[in-house]
Amino acid sequence: MSREALMARKMPIPVLENFTSVLQTTTMVSNSAEVVPATTLNHRRMLIVQNNHASNTVYIGTSTVTADTTATGGYQLGPSDSVAFTLDGSAALYAIASAAGDTPVTTLEFA
């Protein structure tokens, strides 16, 4: 296809968020629900959560999240898995690990 033909085609232009602030935090979670991150970035619009443990699963959800697959069981992040949310700073996200001991959960917040 010629350059002119390509230019004539109507193609959607991707819209990217313009972020002015980024905050990286690592929170150690265990087998009780912990808010992640402990302190939110002002005017947060996006959050990425990563499980940085070699073998533990991390479950994310509300303050009542449990480390299982019951009705209160959270969204599962296996070792090295991550997930992104469009989530403002007024919403709290909790994490719990599948085993006792420190499980590092890294978050990247964008505002």
Q: Which of 14-18, 25-29, 100-104 has the lowest mean pLDDT?
A: 14-18
Q: In this model, does residue 28 exceed pLDDT 80?
A: yes
pLDDT above 70 (res 23): yes
Tens of pLDDT along 75-100?
A: 999 999 999 989 888 999 999 999 99
pLDDT reading at 110 higher than 70: yes
Report d(CA 2, CA 4) in Å as an integer.
5
DSSP 45-93: -EEEEEE--SS--EEEESTT-BSSSSTTB-EEE-TT-EEEE---TTS--
Would you place residue 18 in the very low, low, confident or very high pLDDT band (cuts 50, 70, 90)?
Answer: confident
Give the rounded percent of residues in the chain with a pLDDT score beyond 70: 85
Q: Where are the domains of the chain?
A: 20-110
Greater model confidence, 17 or 50:
50
What's 20-110's CATH class? mainly beta
How buried is residue 45: exposed, middle or buried, by Cβ count under 10 Å (0-12/13-18/19+)?
A: middle
The backbone region for 80, taken as left when phi is positive above 0, alpha when psi lies in -120 to 50, beta otherwise, is left
Query: Looking at this protein, which amino acid is placed at residue 40?
Result: T
Strand ordering across the sheet containing 34-35? 34-35, 94-97, 58-61, 75-77
Please give the residue that has the higher pLDDT: either 81 or 8. 81
The verdict on whether omega for the bond into residue 12 sits within 30 degrees of 0, i.e. cis, is no
Helix (H, G, I), strand (E, B) or coil at 3: helix
pLDDT bin (cut points 50, 70, 90) of residue 103 is: very high
